[in-house]
Amino acid sequence: MADAYKGKCFCGNVEFEVSGSPVLMGYCHCKDCTGWLGAPIHAFSLWPKDTVKVTKGESGVGTFNKTENSYRKFCKNCGGTLMVDHPGMGVVDVPPAVVDGLKHVPAAHVFYATKTISMKDGLPKFKDLPAQNGGSGETLPD
Ligand SMILES: [Zn+2]
Ligand SMILES: [Zn+2]
């Protein structure tokens, strides 16, 4: 894996950089992610907070937090997804789809209890979150 990656919003007004290695990559099936994105599933990559930096268009970044757990950041011009700050966990979720050259290597599914589509890929399916991330650690069948 390369050391640093560049990401941008849909229109390109906002650019950011992420460096190092992700803490965890996977798929989230929670109602907040799918509802915000308007998608049946969310591919995520979690990075230590200080490894993600907005490098262009910072004033054009909007933030919405429905809960204290997730601050969802988007471009005010195009509405495109940028990242989701999870202050309680000390990580920022950067969707690999908005980062150039970042390969999504999923290790698990989270919040599989609220899935709308099944993914029979053999990866662990957490009912909510792994225990080390504050969840029950319970897993469900594919
Ligand atoms: Zn934009
Ligand atoms: Zn989610």
Identity of residue 74 = F
Long-range contacts formed by 134-142: CB under 8 A, 24+ apart: 134/88, 134/89, 135/110, 140/112, 140/113, 142/118
Look at the block and give the residue holding tokens 């262009």: 56
The answer to whether 74 touches 80, Cβ cutoff 8 Å, is yes
Q: How far is the CA of 97 from the centre of ligand 1 (A)?
A: 14
Q: How far is the CA of 19 from the centre of ligand 1 (A)?
A: 21
- Is the pTM of the predicted complex or chain greater than 0.75? yes
**Residues 58-104 pLDDT 10s:** 999 999 999 999 999 999 999 999 999 999 989 999 999 999 999 99
Q: How far is the CA of 29 from the centre of ligand 2 (A)?
A: 6
Ligand at minimal distance from the CA of 129 is 2
**Residues 6-30 pLDDT 10s:** 999 999 999 999 999 999 999 999 9
